[in-house]
Amino acid sequence: MASLIPNILPKDSHTQIIAAGASIAILVGIVFVTTFGGKKTPKNDEELSTWSSFIRFFYACFLKPHEKSGENGQQDALESFYKAQAGVYDATRKRLLCGREDMLGLVAAQLKQKATTANQSKNQRRIWVDVGGGTGYNIEAMSKYLNVPEFFSSVYLVDFSPSLCEVARKRFVRLGWNNVKVVCQDARLFRLEDHEGESDESSSDLILPPPAIDEYFSDSKSAVGADLVTMSYSLSMIPDFYSVIDSLTNLLAPSGVIGVVDFYVQSVVDLSSRNYTGGALTRHVNWVSRLFWRAWFDIDRVGLDASRRDYLEYRFGTVLSADSRNYLLGAIPYYMWLGCPKKHSTALSPSSHDIIERIDAAVTESPYLHPANYTANLSKAVEKANPEIRSKAYSAALLNLTSNLPLPSFFYQNHHYRIHFDDQLQKHTQFNNEYIYAFTWEDTRVDDRILNLTPSDVVLAITSAGDNILSYALRSPARIHAVDLNPSQNNLLELKVAGYHCLPYADFWKIFGEGKHANFRELLIEKLSPHLSSRAFQYWLDNVSVFSPKGRGLYETGGSRYAVKLFRYMSNVFGLSNEVRKVLSAKTLIEQREIYRSSIRPVILSRILSSVLISQPRFLWAALGVPKNQLAVIESDYPCISQGTESSDGKILDKKVREQNRGKAVWQYMVDTLDPVVEHTLIGQDNHYYQVCMAGTYTPQCHPEYLDERAHKKLSRKDAFEGLRIHTDEIEEVVNRIRPGTLTVAVVMDSMDWFDPGSQAAATQIAKLNNALKLGGRVMLRSAGKKPWYIDEFEKWGFVAKREGVRENGGCIDRVNMYASCWILTKTKGVPVEVVTRDTASPEALEI
């Protein structure tokens, strides 16, 4: 609604705000009555009707003037606002204050995860402090996720409004929850020591907590710490929010969690140079909305300025962060945020600098050296960072440590396999928050046969949809470096890995086997969230519709959906839907071939369709992920293929010649791809790659290896992904920061086809792959060409090439058959470091 305001309101800004405000007020009334029509709200022994509740709410919020602060300051101001509506507060805020239950579900999931990891007993004492808890709605709502009387030894509701506190006291008397204590007090003065155990009688309530200090280099903490601190739409109503947030840093236990949900208005420009906010997906609020909502909420002394959230993120480490809109009431922006102390320091949780060193060692394949006296040697670490190989994550963390900033949010996750990256770089934003592949197009059965991975292998592979990464994980190699420049592809892999951590096989199958789950959003918040990075959580919270039962499901999303939808559209237009189902249910190859040849092939392999649509470079890239250089490889091979001879030199033909052959070349490539698949593989029984394209889902009989129930059991083990590292970067950037001679296998799929023929960039990447691999290490790749031009480059740079498979004589290279050849390049010679690091790489001066 806010986005429509400039078009329907007068040009004068003040008139706009007044008119828009009146519209919002009317909308609130309509929503309130619609939502609560027929319900009544109790107040003492009386019952107010729905209209009476709304009138009281409307009067208190929009008509009743605020009284000037009395001798009690902020408390009098709060009472002026809440006293007249305390009895109807809960009934009138259900639709206004969105995200409260979601925030509680997120913190509950974190607490459960911590309890499981730390093997805490059922009698473990846990403390929860709800700051600005008002009527106690949050505490009662938490019972959906946790048994509040049993899980927490003490729960403190801290609020400064006597009227709201009175409602809360009555609530907990009604519930019979004796572990909940309502404290009507200024949050700045609240101390757990005053309520937990013996307190020092000489202390005074007027003494503030210790001042805010450097969280990394001080261990000043209260004797008693809260395991959970929450703030639900209260931070925006606290004038002196700096001191309150400072007090919370001392209130929270070293391993505690803080959860906040509140309104906000913020521009993405505000996040410039901040790498610790947990991502910026959907965080930006346009200037009209910022202007309007600030002015609107200012009427009720609710502050939406960015400084509140900014300071919160500065004083704590960000675990999860997500932004949303209350579209029911005019798209009011609100955020959910989970944090923890800047500095980890408990017996069960290693310190922040220890985590940094461990992650850096794993990312760079360097030996881990425990930093015995990190703070004393911080300056030395800076000096040492230059000559040593360090990850980008280490560099970012070191910068934050020296600037007294929180670490990037990746360091505060429960799992450290997702490596820090800057999501605002153009090389990542170019994908528009969309993955291209919802499933991987490389045959894992062939990979397994060729690579034969062992527990001593260190593997680097392109992520794609993550299917192959999970297949490699089933072989338990020492390390897997999953690399993809597209953050969304890595988000998909993260979701699959998180599913192994917490979901039973039935739910895992629905999400990734059928591609749909009616309760995906609930699973994301209540189970998956502790196992996701902040950016991955944001992404899937914003894309829950992908798994909606009402939609097409996961496998008709991403860039490749265009090809799947085209096939489905053509099937419907030409009446082939029934024939497609027959192919998938065929029991023999003879039956499958007959159906394909007589009805399906004449349509999908139509030369007209190929010329008009499929051979167009834009469609090939958007729908099939075929870039222009790979298309050039296909076009250059066509003359030899059409003549029935072997393409021997991999030479790229002149552009004009290629364009003349384009339609024929693409058509022939499709024929060589699809015909052998139908002739030699039974799709509905043993070729899940085409099963999912044709049906949009897998079946219990036909699915990837990672979806097998036995695979789920193995990968659900606690240490199954200890060796996984997920890099969001170019292959060259990752390889360049790996200690030389440590990789044993690099799987680059068809990425070498993407390089310009003869480019220096290709030679540089090959040289760096050589440098990172052990002697005898292997590079596995697939290509759209039978002998692509860059094979010669590999041989120049110390590799011996072996073609493991080639499409010829109407046969299949594998079940996908999408590529013309598969190669293994084995390192037999090393490259001197000085050659690799030169801008102009040269294959000269190789050494054994």
Per-residue pLDDT reduced to its tens digit, 168-188 = 999 999 999 999 999 999 999
Torsional sign, CA 801, 802, 807, 812 = negative
pLDDT for 362: 79
pTM of the model: 0.85
Query: What are the C-alpha distances in Å from 764 to residues 736, 748, 771, 831, 841?
Result: 10, 15, 11, 11, 6
Lowest mean pLDDT among 26-35, 342-351, 362-371: 26-35
Angle formed by the axes of helices 688-695 and 561-573, to 10°? 60
Cα distance between residue 709 and residue 698, in whole Å = 14
pLDDT at residue 371 tops 50 = no
pLDDT for 91: 54
Structure tokens at 213: 């200090």
pLDDT digits (tens, 9 = 90+) for 83-126: 545 444 455 557 678 899 999 999 999 999 998 876 666 667 89
Burial class, 724, CB count within 10 angstroms (exposed 0-12 / middle 13-18 / buried 19+)? buried
Contact 53, 86 (CB under 8 A): no
Give 690's strand partners: none
Lowest mean pLDDT among 477-481, 495-499, 532-536, 567-571: 567-571
Structure tokens at 767: 């040289």
pLDDT for 323: 94
Task: Count Cα atoms within 13 angstroms, Cβ side, for 688.
Answer: 24
Cα distance between residue 650 and residue 633, in whole Å = 8
Contact 252, 226 (CB under 8 A): yes
Identify each DSSP E strand in 443-600 by its residue range: 458-462, 479-483
pLDDT confidence band for 346 (50 / 70 / 90): very low
Torsional sign, CA 563, 567, 573, 577 = negative
pLDDT for 844: 58
Q: What is the mean pLDDT of residues 650-671?
A: 78
Cα distance between residue 584 and residue 303, in whole Å = 59
pLDDT digits (tens, 9 = 90+) for 561-575: 877 887 888 888 888
pLDDT at residue 334 tops 50 = yes
Lowest mean pLDDT among 3-7, 13-17, 353-357: 3-7
pLDDT for 505: 98
* Local structure of 607: helix, strand or coil: helix
Query: Nearest-CA neighbor of 811 among 822, 801, 802, 825?
Result: 822
Query: Nearest-CA neighbor of 608 among 634, 578, 574, 652?
Result: 574
529 vs 403: which has the higher pLDDT: 529
Cα distance between residue 465 and residue 483, in whole Å = 11
**Helices and strands in the chain: count of H runs, count of E runs:** 37, 16
Cα dihedral 525, 530, 532, 535 in deg (nearest 10): 70
**Tell me, what amino acid is at 245?**
I
Q: What is the mean pLDDT of the chain?
A: 82
Contact 699, 458 (CB under 8 A): no
Q: Which helix (H) or strand (E) holds 801?
A: strand 799-806
Structure tokens at 633: 């490889």
**Tell me, what amino acid is at 643?**
Q
pLDDT for 604: 83
Contact 661, 638 (CB under 8 A): yes
Q: Which helix (H) or strand (E) holds 263?
A: strand 252-263
pLDDT for 36: 45
pLDDT at residue 227 tops 70 = yes
Residue 122 gets which letter from DSSP? Answer: T
Structure tokens at 408: 């990037």
Q: What is the mean pLDDT of residues 330-350?
A: 77
Structure tokens at 825: 């390049």
Lowest mean pLDDT among 60-69, 270-279, 341-350, 411-420: 60-69
pLDDT digits (tens, 9 = 90+) for 681-725: 999 999 999 999 999 999 999 999 999 999 999 999 999 999 999
pLDDT digits (tens, 9 = 90+) for 764-823: 999 999 999 999 999 999 999 999 999 999 999 999 999 999 998 888 999 999 999 999
Lowest mean pLDDT among 298-302, 348-352, 481-485, 633-637: 348-352
Task: Count Cα atoms within 13 angstroms, Cβ side, for 701.
Answer: 10
Cα distance between residue 294 and residue 676, in whole Å = 63
DSSP secondary structure of 486-505: -HHHHHHHHHHHHHHHH--H
Identify each DSSP E strand in 671-735 by its residue range: 724-727
Cα distance between residue 420 and residue 542, in whole Å = 21
Find the farthest-apart pair of alpha carbons in the chain and give their distance in angstroms, rounded: 98
pLDDT confidence band for 374 (50 / 70 / 90): very low
* Local structure of 458: helix, strand or coil: strand
Within 8 A by CB and 6+ apart from 671, the residues are 605
Task: Count Cα atoms within 13 angstroms, Cβ side, for 803.
Answer: 16
* Local structure of 766: helix, strand or coil: helix
- One-letter-per-residue 3-state SS of 295-341: HHHHCCCCCCCCHHHHHHHHHEEEEEEEEEEEHHHCCEEEEEEEEEE
Lowest mean pLDDT among 205-214, 356-365, 463-472: 205-214
pLDDT for 199: 42
How crowded is residue 50: how many other Cβ atoms within 10 Å of its Cβ?
Answer: 20
**Tell me, what amino acid is at 295?**
A
Cα dihedral 197, 202, 203, 204 in deg (nearest 10): 120
pLDDT for 45: 34
Counting residues of the chain whose pLDDT is more than 90, the rounded percentage is: 53
pLDDT confidence band for 153 (50 / 70 / 90): very high
299 vs 669: which has the higher pLDDT: 669
Contact 104, 145 (CB under 8 A): yes
pLDDT for 179: 95
Query: What are the C-alpha distances in Å from 688 to residues 11, 439, 593, 683?
Result: 59, 10, 17, 7
Angle formed by the axes of helices 655-680 and 628-642, to 10°? 80
pLDDT for 682: 96
Identify each DSSP E strand in 351-472 by its residue range: 458-462
pLDDT for 76: 53
539 vs 52: which has the higher pLDDT: 539
Identify each DSSP E strand in 95-172 by its residue range: 127-131, 154-159
Q: Which residue has the tokens 């606690």?
A: 718
pLDDT digits (tens, 9 = 90+) for 598-649: 999 888 888 777 776 666 766 665 556 677 888 888 878 878 877 666 555 6
Contact 110, 102 (CB under 8 A): no
Q: Which residue has the tokens 């059409």?
A: 642
Cα distance between residue 744 and residue 727, in whole Å = 18
Contact 533, 409 (CB under 8 A): yes
pLDDT for 223: 59
Contact 662, 694 (CB under 8 A): no
pLDDT for 112: 94
pLDDT at residue 26 tops 80 = no
pLDDT at residue 824 tops 50 = yes
Within 8 A by CB and 6+ apart from 789, the residues are 633, 650, 651, 652, 757, 758
Most confidently predicted of 207-211, 352-356, 518-522 = 518-522
